[in-house]
Amino acid sequence: MNRKILHLAIPNIISNVTIPLLGLVDMALMGHLDSEVYIGAVSLGTVIFNFIYWGFSFLRMSTSGFTAQSYGEGNQQDTFNFLARSLMISTLISALIVLFQVPIESISFKAINGSAEVESLAREYFRIRIWAAPATLGLYALNGWFLGMQNARYVMITSILANVFNLLFSFFFVYVLHMNSAGVALGTVIAQYMGIFTGLFLLWKKYKYLLQFRDKKAIFDIPAMKNFFRVNSDIFVRTFCVIFVFTFFTSKSASMNDHILAVNSILIQFLLLFSFFIDGFAFAGEALAGKYKGEQNRDLFNKLTRRLFIWGVGLALIFSFLFLVGNKFIIGLLTNQESLYETASQFMFWVILTPLVTFSSFVWDGIYIGVTASKEMRNSMLAATLLVFAPSFFFLQNILGNHALWLAMMLFMLARGVFQTILFPKVLARSFR
């Protein structure tokens, strides 16, 4: 079982780790310019696109779960149907995002507070990066399908290529053409299209035989479409809660002052760095849990669950130790501004605690997505957001200040794992009859 997990997890970790590394490099590029407003601008711009794109990450999650189950059943017709449905939906959504970019910009910047200088730069960032929507959402659909087909290697290839070129283009635009935060946005746009074109080429190269299963009636089958949209709607609500929490975190940071916004933007990179490592195992959980559900192999599913949590505990301990001993080095890579480091050190306790508090929620997400237990995912996330995150911050903000924001984030991540643990017996009974 460990070999099967690592066969999928390692390519996913390699591809995932390029994402936080990209965020770290973007932050470092801005952190070594002559003003902290550039960090704030990229942070605000990024959180807006997280809000937009993470909201549609169900395209990856549901496609991965459904495809893995069809793969386990040996149903090639359905594997093609899920790919076709996901790509069509991603194309439609991205067209609407580009079409309505002006009202999206207006609403986004009314919701997020920042200084006038930071907002001006963030708007410039937004107006460039919005054009990456078709490529970004298309990659969600494509990578979710590859993962469901137990092919993490193709996910790794597309992700690495896109993110490496993103780094190169961003560096060129920022330091050679002196475009500052706008250069980071343009680098992202170009790299995302390179990623989707690579993914489509790989799809054609290995899976063109599936075109024989092309059937409009099967693709648009009403009961299948209803089930597809039901799961997607649950995952959308679940993801919206994540978006709300992270957007709220950034918005409240910005409302304090530009300095705290820059500090929290740097420190949140530690959480993102860990999340993309643990997500490698969560993605392996998606593929294998869906496969075992399709095969109706309860014994292997239970074995998978136990092994994933062993890996999760191990990673959490390793990263907490690395954050403890290496936080000064990592922050030094992100900024050379001494005042930012001095303030960041006051909140480092939360960063060190992060892996231990958050790992279970990531592992459970992978398992739940694999068996498409979308209702339970949705309910656990709503409870963690409304009953834990929001009350803890609002009751403590006047007492603890920025510490209240970090405490609320930690309690939110912990509650997700606790609620999903409580709901797991119900998920298991429904998935294996």
Q: Minimal CA–CA distance to 155: which of 109, 206, 222, 108? A: 206
Q: Confirm if 286 and 370 have CB atoms less than 8 A apart.
A: yes
pLDDT band at residue 256 under the 50/70/90 scheme = confident
Q: What percent of the chain has pLDDT over 90?
A: 29
Average pLDDT (381-409) is: 90
pLDDT band at residue 379 under the 50/70/90 scheme = very high
pLDDT band at residue 24 under the 50/70/90 scheme = low
Using CB atoms within 10 Å of the CB of residue 16, give its burial: 0 to 12 exposed, 13 to 18 middle, 19+ buried: buried
- Distance separating alpha carbons of residues 257 and 36, to the nearest angstrom: 11
pLDDT band at residue 342 under the 50/70/90 scheme = confident
Q: What is the pLDDT of residues 346-373, one digit of tens each?
A: 788 888 999 999 999 999 999 999 898 8
Q: Minimal CA–CA distance to 277: which of 239, 249, 237, 317? A: 317
- Distance separating alpha carbons of residues 137 and 142, to the nearest angstrom: 9
pLDDT band at residue 308 under the 50/70/90 scheme = very high
pLDDT band at residue 40 under the 50/70/90 scheme = low
Q: Which residues fall within 8 angstroms of residue 215, CB to CB, at 6 or more apart? A: 77, 81
Q: Minimal CA–CA distance to 62: which of 89, 44, 94? A: 89
Q: What is the pLDDT of residues 157-215, one digit of tens each?
A: 998 888 888 888 878 887 778 777 778 888 888 988 999 999 999 999 999 888 888 87
**pLDDT for the residue numbered 145:** 93
User: In the Cβ-directed half-sphere of 90, how many Cα atoms lie within 13 Å?
Assistant: 30
Within 10 angstroms of residue 99's Cβ, the number of other Cβ atoms is 10
**pLDDT for the residue numbered 319:** 94
pLDDT at 35 over 70: no
Tokens of 243: 């978006």
- Distance separating alpha carbons of residues 10 and 5, to the nearest angstrom: 8
**pLDDT for the residue numbered 231:** 85
Average pLDDT (390-396) is: 90
Q: Minimal CA–CA distance to 408: which of 253, 278, 262, 238? A: 253
pTM: 0.79
pLDDT at 316 over 90: yes
**pLDDT for the residue numbered 124:** 82
Q: What is the pLDDT of residues 188-201, one digit of tens each?
A: 889 889 999 999 99
- Distance separating alpha carbons of residues 389 and 342, to the nearest angstrom: 27
What are the angstrom distances between the C-alpha of 111 and each of 25, 106, 107, 244, 400? Answer: 27, 9, 6, 11, 24
- Distance separating alpha carbons of residues 88 and 85, to the nearest angstrom: 5
